A and B are shown apart, each in its own frame.
Chain A
Amino acid sequence: MADDILFDLLHSEIINYALEQSKENGNKKEVDLSIVEYIGFAAGYKIMERLTREWPRFKDELDTMKFICTDFWTCIYKKQIDNLRTNHQGVYVLQDNGFRFLTNFSNGHQYLEFAPRFVAYTCGLIRGGLANLCINSVVTAEVQSMPSCKFHIHVQRT
């Protein structure tokens, strides 16, 4: 689908742009992806209001996470999360075996070191969506073997 690829291309160009910016600011070793994360946050925050409009009220946190895994993910990535695990104490692990932004390049270790760039936006997206649902969280991602990706959500309770 042409409209799907458009999102992929825009996403990769935004990352290139952010990398370019951080290079100009003199960050030679570390890449600054906070801007990409923030873009994700703002988008996640806004889209959540729309997606939950016709949805009955969530029972609890787990119910919310299930929504993220199914409807939220389908809306953005056209597939569902493959595996959701939780310790019931505020840590959730979402595993996607074929993460969309990683399926475009080779499956081996060739680009493994660059993978973090392609998950920053999604981390922000999840964090923003949850923030709008009044769940403050820290989202990190882990890529071990190429097209699969794990998102760790740590819910911050105050």
Chain B
Amino acid sequence: MTTRSWWRHGESYRMSRLRTKNSPLYIGGIGNDTNTDNELSRQWLVHTALDALEERLASNNSNTTGANTNNTRTDLRDLYLGLLYSTDTHKIYGYVTNTRIKLVLVTSSTSPSGSNIRDAEVRTALRRLHALYADAICNPFHLPGDQITSLKFDKQVKNLMLNNV
């Protein structure tokens, strides 16, 4: 139950982006403040995280040829990239699909109850988000590369954030 309340009180914020152009496909979030300044600063956070994300992808590619295996890293071929970046107030997690859609999840780094966010939870949340994205793509009214405007998708994502674990 603690995690549940954490999701609601904390800011949780996510965004999927499109491949090289990096234009956002969808931005959504739940949180207790909808202040424009915070909105902007969170977008800025996501952009910062994208650099970290691309760096990691690039190092993955170069590592596959070399013999040096870094055991501290998560599995190179895993879609979930783990914690990308953290600031005093936020933690940013990344996930890149095979189709190079980048899913970024921003959460506040401390929960009101003081419990930490578990990696496995974030992984599940991002996997579910990916599943929702795959469904949204099959919407005949959605054009590939456009922003996702489907209300159903929006509702499902918000639901996912509220009811996570």
Task: Given A45-B144, A134-B19, check contact A57 B98 (CB 8 Å).
Answer: yes
Is B97's CB under 8 angstroms from A49's CB? yes
B3-35: which have CB < 8 Å to A?
A: 19-20
Task: Given A46-B138, A59-B64, check contact A53 B130 (CB 8 Å).
Answer: yes
By a CB distance below 8 angstroms, the chain B residues around A49 are 97, 99, 133-134, 137-138
Is A134's CB under 8 angstroms from B137's CB? no
A-B Cβ contacts below 8 A, count: 45
Partner of B77 from the list A45, A53, A57, A134 (CB cut-off 8 Å) is A57
Partner of B99 from the list A52, A56, A59 (CB cut-off 8 Å) is A52
Is B99's CB under 8 angstroms from A134's CB? yes
Is B78's CB under 8 angstroms from A133's CB? no
B82-112: which have CB < 8 Å to A?
A: 96-100
Indicate the size class of the contact surface on chain A.
10 to 19
Is A52's CB under 8 angstroms from B137's CB? no
By a CB distance below 8 angstroms, the chain A residues around B64 are 59
B80 to chain A, nearest CB (A): 10
A41 to chain B, nearest CB (A): 10
A23-62: which have CB < 8 Å to B?
A: 45-46, 48-50, 52-53, 55-59
Give the nearest-CB partner of A133 in chain B: B99
Give the nearest-CB partner of B60 in chain A: A57
By a CB distance below 8 angstroms, the chain A residues around B76 are 57
In this assembly, does B45 line the interface, its C-beta being within 8 Å of a C-beta of chain A?
A: no
By a CB distance below 8 angstroms, the chain A residues around B117 are none
Give the nearest-CB partner of B127 in chain A: A53
By a CB distance below 8 angstroms, the chain A residues around B78 are 56-57
Is B97's CB under 8 angstroms from A52's CB? yes
Task: Given A57-B77, A59-B77, check contact A46 B137 (CB 8 Å).
Answer: yes
Which positions in B face A, CB cutoff 8 Å? 19-20, 60, 64, 75-79, 96-100, 130-131, 133-134, 137-138, 144
Which positions in A face B, CB cutoff 8 Å? 45-46, 48-50, 52-53, 55-59, 132-134
